[in-house]
Amino acid sequence: MSHTLPPLPYAYDALEPVISKQIMELHHQKHHQTYVNNLNAALSSQAGATQSNDVPTLISLQQKIRFNGGGHINHSLFWKNLTPPGTPGNDLASAAPSLKEAIVSHWGSEDAFKKAFGAALLGIQGSGWGWLVSTGGPNSRLDITTTKDQDPVSAEDVPVFGVDMWEHAYYLQYLNNKAGYIEGIWNIINWSEAEKRYTAGVENLVKL
C-alpha cells in the first residue's frame, strides 16, 4: 500500500485573493504530490533493505523519509488549517473559543500573538514552516515554533496550525514580499480546525 495525495477540502481558487489558484494548483498537484511519490519510493526501498537486513541502506534512507514524509505531513496539515476567506471557520472568537482564551492569556492579545507569529515567520533563514503548537499534548501551553525545510514539529507537540514559508508557497503572487503573504494568511486560517487540534489533538492525516 502506498500513500496518496489527499484532496483539498476546497476548490483550487477558493483561497483567492489571498492565495491564487495557480499557486494552489502547483503547490498541491506538483509539490505535495512529489513529496508523496518520493516518500513512497523511499518506503519501498526501506522495505527491501529491511528484508535483506541492509543496515547502511536503511541509514541512508532516513533523511529521505524525514524530508518527504515531513513534506507529506506538513502539507496535509496545512491544507486543512486553511479555509476560504469570510467563512465561519475564519472567525477566531466564534470558531475557537478555548484557543482564543489560551492565546490571549499567553500573549496578552490576539494582535500581539499575530505580531509574534509573523516575526517568527520572517526570521526563518531559508525554507521552512512556522507553527503554533500545544506543547506536550492537547490543551497545554501554547508556543510558536519554526521548523526548517520539511521537518515536522516534535512528535509530542500538537501542531495547532502551520504556515508554509517555502518560497513556492507565495512567490508567484507576492514575490519577495513575505510580509504581505503573512498579513494575508490571517484571512484564511481555519480556526475551527485549529480549535479541534488544540482541544483534542491531531488525527493521523497520512495514515494508509
Partner 1 sequence: MELHHKNHHNTYVNSYNTAVEQLQEAQHKGDIAAQISLKPAINFHGGGHLNHTLFWENLAPKSAGGGEPPSGALAKAIDETYGSLGEFQNKVNTALAGIQGSGWAWLVKDKQTGQISIRTYANQDPVVGQFEPLLGIDAWEHAYYLDYQNRKAEYFKAIWEVINWKTVEKRFS
**What whole-number distance in Å separates Cα of residue 51 and Cα of residue 58?**
11
Task: Check binding of 34 to partner 1 (CB under 8 A).
Answer: yes
C-alpha cell at 42: 523511499
Give yes or no for a cis peptide into 138 (omega within 30° of 0): no
Q: CA 57: distance to chain centroid?
A: 29
Q: Per CB under 8 A, which of residues 43..102 are in contact with partner 1? A: 63, 67
Q: How far is the CB of 107 from partner 1 (least distance, A)?
A: 23
Q: Binding string to partner 1 for residues 140 to 179, with x set by CB under 8 A, is what? A: --------xxx---------------xxx--xx--xx---
Reference 134, options 181, 202, 54; nearest CA is 202
Q: Which is nearer to partner 1, 113 or 174 (CB)?
A: 174
Q: Which of 52, 53, 126, 155 binds partner 1 (CB under 8 A)?
A: 126
Q: How far is the CB of 42 from partner 1 (least distance, A)?
A: 12
- Using CB under 8 A, which of the segments 49-57, 93-101, 122-130, 152-160 binds partner 1? 122-130
**What whole-number distance in Å separates Cα of residue 139 and Cα of residue 160?**
10
Q: Determine how many CB atoms are found less than 10 A away from the CB of residue 131.
A: 26
C-alpha cell at 183: 498579513
- Catalog residues that contact partner 1 under the rule CB under 8 A: 26, 30-31, 34, 63, 67, 125-128, 148-150, 166-168, 171-172, 175-176
